[in-house]
Structure 1
């Protein structure tokens, strides 16, 4: 009997686990980007500044979010474009925290007219 451990191959580890909702197997159609104009928040009466994403710090809280493989590929593509075109070497978590910050600032500023409200109503 061999003492070698049998490990799964890369094909087994990275196999697709679900079909696309539209039945296709290729890449997902690219959605048009939504332009969001977020005004710079003003300081309040107490001189408090607007909330900013945490950036590169140690985070004490954790949240798990499940996304499709296409969404993960889109996120990774955006991360690589940020690096290639803008010289920003950031990880996916930082991109997600920035996106959340932008969406929440837009929601706070525009309420019912915010992009997040419109998109959540549409889906």
Structure 2
């Protein structure tokens, strides 16, 4: 016996989502092959069986056959689809329109740096983020707040030079 695990195949793991799911038929009669379906006395139909009246006096339609792939990867099976006539009378569902994504004014950043900060600085940054959102209605993540703060400090450095906030704070430390 092999110790290698048996994993399900892609057909068992994934299903199509672009086609509507059909409810499973009530009791289904399965036959292993098309030849077995043709040889089965239960599935053989004659003109007399097709036109035999039901309780309402109308002829009973024969149940159509559907070819269904085998779950274990074997040959396809023939299945009697007892709900096919009912599904044929249902109106076709309108295809769902793909959801439009809201356009965001985010820029893609190509470069990355790592900045280490203390727990107090990180708490202050998160408090600023929550304050911006709660009191000012500005939704921004921590990275955006840091990028804006850098932009403000660099603009101040360019305009004021020696008297900028950045120069004064770096000289103090």
Partner of 2:156 in structure 1?
106
1:31-70 to structure 2, matched below 5 A, reads: 56-70=106-120
Gaps in structure 1 of 5+ consecutive residues = 1-54
Partner of 1:52 in structure 2?
none
The alignment yields a C-alpha RMSD, in angstroms, of 1.0
Where in structure 1 do 4 or more consecutive aligned residues deviate above 2 Å?
none
Larger radius of gyration between Structure 1 and Structure 2: 2
1:89 aligns with 2:142: no
Partner of 1:71 in structure 2?
121
TM-score (norm 1): 0.55
Gaps in structure 2 of 5+ consecutive residues = 1-104
**CA distance in 1 between partners of 2:169 and 2:106 (Å):** 29
**CA distance in 2 between partners of 1:117 and 1:69 (Å):** 24
1:115 aligns with 2:157: no
Residues 76, 92 of structure 1: 8 Å contact kept: yes
Partner of 2:64 in structure 1?
none
